[in-house]
Chain A
Amino acid sequence: MPYPSNYRYTTEHEWVAPQGKTARIGITDFAQHQLGDIVFVELPPVGTPLVAGQAFGTVESVKAVSEVFSPVSGKIVKINDALVKSPELINQDPHGAAWMVEAELDGEVPAKLMDTKAYEQFVAEAEAAH
């Protein structure tokens, strides 16, 4: 599955899609492959502050429970209810319908986040390491 060119990525395999002052956040195709079938998604309520690099939610697969780390700082303004009801969306459309939260950004997206090319390279290295 291609990684959208306008997204930015973390080393923990989250993506962020900035759009003006807000941004949607989710986990990448690589992450969902690693986790396997997702059975449960837990997200904090609207209004919760986000701190770049800190966990804000959890995803549970048949194999493991993983924390989801926020790529950006800001505040949650919307959560994806459809995803909470149908966690399998993460396996089907990780970069689209399976967005997790929409955040109002505090300033800019952190510079250390990878662009698509860098992330593709990062994933290729992770694949090779195994």
Chain B
Amino acid sequence: MPTRASRHIVQNEPLLFEVSAPGKQGCQLPPLDVPPVELAGARPEITDFPEVSELEVIRHFTRLSTWNYGVDTGIYPLGSCTMKYNPRINELVTRLDGLGDGHPLQPEALSRGALRIMDLLSRYLLEITGMDAITLQPAAGAQGELTGILLVRAALAARGDARRKVLIPDSAHGTNPATAAIAGYQVENLKSNPAGTVDMASLERQMTADVAALMLTNPNTLGIFEADIHRIADLVHERGGMLYMDGANMNALVGRSRPGDFGVDVMHLNLHKTFSTPHGGGGPGAGPVAVKRELEPFLPIPVLTRRNGEPALDYDRPRSIGRVRAFYGNFGMFTRALAYIMANGCDGLKQTTEDAVLNANYVRKKLEGAYALPYATPSMHEVVFSDANQTAQGVRTGDVAKRLIDYGFHPYTVSFPLVVRGAMMIEPTESASQAELDEFVAAMLAIAEEAKTQPELVTGAPHTTKIGRLDEVAAARQPHLRWQPKR
């Protein structure tokens, strides 16, 4: 069996609460030489704080960490998430004294370096996206979306043409309709055509004088480039609307194609996807929003500008939508993203994009046949299969994903996008070598074979992990949200 894992590392590990013993301490404090004071606001009902030694704590968390699977462990083909490697140079730069010890309340005069970093990163991101102005403030993609749509609302109000609706394709990320609704718009669904892209006839019909914006992901969540993007943008603009681009799939475009050139008015980037800053549990995100000139006056304050030739912060922006985040955004992500861009350079970024697209198409070619491909349109940086070849055996996308864990791989994205029944969405990113892709492909092919010959092996997976198949239904219907001590 070609496999990365045979057994997962399992160390039985009690909770710290359960190993506590009276009097154990992690550090020794000097004797009290002042009168004791009652702690204000202490909650007397909380007792039994764990008492443990330093070594017990270190071992506890080290053991727990061996249960993890991360991008440093192996391929993490979670479609639409761009789980790429986070290069160590990013960390080195971010920990330099002047940056690592910087504080957001430091006066501007003592923050020149930090401001220059934000300025340089902003200029690189504008060059990459082809847009006119940018805010680095939003803390992640969804907040970037909300910021972007609020900018659209403000700009249309300034035109004296406030509108009610936002159009969203049925393949979109769920955050898009959520964003539009929170920003006060009615959401209207735009159906995809058989190629998996925007249906021009539907857009023609639905793009009315009521529509503020079309929120589009390009390439879309099927990993397909919207080849009609110029016609789409022209139609939206002719009818007085704006084109928002969800930049989640920017890893397919960097260095090759610029949203600003194909008609996008406003977009967000995910530094934690495309620009290799930590993603998921690894750290906060960053969702800069780039805009065309018309939307610039509305950017969140403070806006990075120039004073006497030096980068400086401008708070005097009467038409701004206001702040969306404390201070200046997640600054630690800016240094990492900038390090990534500069370490790669122009050629490196182009190569990265090409490799990401190549890897997805390599996986597509190798798995085609074993798994059903609902859309034959060429793939960009990710490929969406479905479980249609496996359902007759009772094996579904979630089962194949769980069986992948037994083979030592993180699962792909399950049951998304919603336009594909039983979707299996695979995004290998440029980080995977051919050897690793071959291992992943071999595991997927072995599972396809198992689904035919011994489907119960797949539907019962995972078998090698500390905890086996969980009852997701019971967990959702009767959630136990808090650990309680055994009395």
Binding site for B on A (CB under 8 A): 34, 37, 39-40, 60, 62-64, 87-88, 130
Q: Is the interface of A mostly helix, strand, loop or mixed?
A: loop
How far is B474's CA from A39's CA once the two chains are assembled, in angstroms?
8
B477 is an interface residue with CB less than 8 A from chain A: yes
| Most chain B CB neighbours (cut-off 10 Å) among A34, A63, A87, A88 | A63
How far is B477's CA from A34's CA once the two chains are assembled, in angstroms?
18
Given A62-B472, A63-B415, A64-B418, is A87 in contact with B388 using a C-beta cutoff of 8 Å?
no
How far is B477's CA from A63's CA once the two chains are assembled, in angstroms?
13
**CB neighbours of A87 from chain B (8 A):** 477
B473 is an interface residue with CB less than 8 A from chain A: yes
B476 engages A40 (CB within 8 Å): yes
**CB neighbours of A62 from chain B (8 A):** 472-473, 476
**CB neighbours of B418 from chain A (8 A):** 64
Beta-carbon contacts of B436-473 to A below 8 Å, as 1s and 0s? 00000000000000000000000000000000000011
B421 is an interface residue with CB less than 8 A from chain A: yes
B473 engages A39 (CB within 8 Å): yes
Given A63-B415, A130-B388, is A39 in contact with B421 using a C-beta cutoff of 8 Å?
no
Beta-carbon contacts of B415-434 to A below 8 Å, as 1s and 0s? 10010010000000000000
Shortest distance between the CB of A66 and any CB in chain B (Å): 10
A39 engages B476 (CB within 8 Å): yes
Binding site for A on B (CB under 8 A): 388, 415, 418, 421, 472-473, 476-477
Shortest distance between the CB of A30 and any CB in chain B (Å): 12
How far is B141's CA from A15's CA once the two chains are assembled, in angstroms?
38
Some 20 contacts from A to B, beta carbons below 8 A apart, are A34-B421, A37-B472, A37-B473, A37-B476, A39-B473, A39-B476, A39-B477, A40-B476, A40-B477, A60-B476, A62-B472, A62-B473, A62-B476, A63-B415, A64-B415, A64-B418, A87-B477, A88-B477, A130-B388, A130-B421
Measured CB to CB, the nearest residue on chain B to A88 is B477
6 tightest Cβ-Cβ pairs between the two chains A and B? A39-B476, A37-B473, A130-B421, A62-B472, A39-B477, A63-B415
Shortest distance between the CB of A41 and any CB in chain B (Å): 11
**CB neighbours of A88 from chain B (8 A):** 477
**CB neighbours of B421 from chain A (8 A):** 34, 130
**CB neighbours of B472 from chain A (8 A):** 37, 62
How far is B247's CA from A29's CA once the two chains are assembled, in angstroms?
37
**CB neighbours of A63 from chain B (8 A):** 415
**CB neighbours of A130 from chain B (8 A):** 388, 421
Shortest distance between the CB of A67 and any CB in chain B (Å): 10
How far is B418's CA from A87's CA once the two chains are assembled, in angstroms?
22
Shortest distance between the CB of B93 and any CB in chain A (Å): 41
Shortest distance between the CB of B475 and any CB in chain A (Å): 9
For the complex with contacts A37-B472, A64-B415, 8 further pairs of A-B residues with Cβ separation under 8 Å are A34-B421, A37-B473, A37-B476, A39-B476, A39-B477, A40-B476, A62-B473, A130-B421
Shortest distance between the CB of B420 and any CB in chain A (Å): 9
How far is B174's CA from A63's CA once the two chains are assembled, in angstroms?
13
How far is B391's CA from A130's CA once the two chains are assembled, in angstroms?
12
| Most chain A CB neighbours (cut-off 10 Å) among B388, B421, B476 | B476
Shortest distance between the CB of A59 and any CB in chain B (Å): 12
**CB neighbours of A60 from chain B (8 A):** 476
How far is B388's CA from A31's CA once the two chains are assembled, in angstroms?
19
How far is B477's CA from A60's CA once the two chains are assembled, in angstroms?
10
**CB neighbours of B476 from chain A (8 A):** 37, 39-40, 60, 62
How far is B478's CA from A40's CA once the two chains are assembled, in angstroms?
10
How far is B418's CA from A37's CA once the two chains are assembled, in angstroms?
17
Shortest distance between the CB of B397 and any CB in chain A (Å): 10
How far is B388's CA from A130's CA once the two chains are assembled, in angstroms?
8
Shortest distance between the CB of A126 and any CB in chain B (Å): 10
How far is B478's CA from A37's CA once the two chains are assembled, in angstroms?
13
Shortest distance between the CB of A31 and any CB in chain B (Å): 13
**CB neighbours of B388 from chain A (8 A):** 130
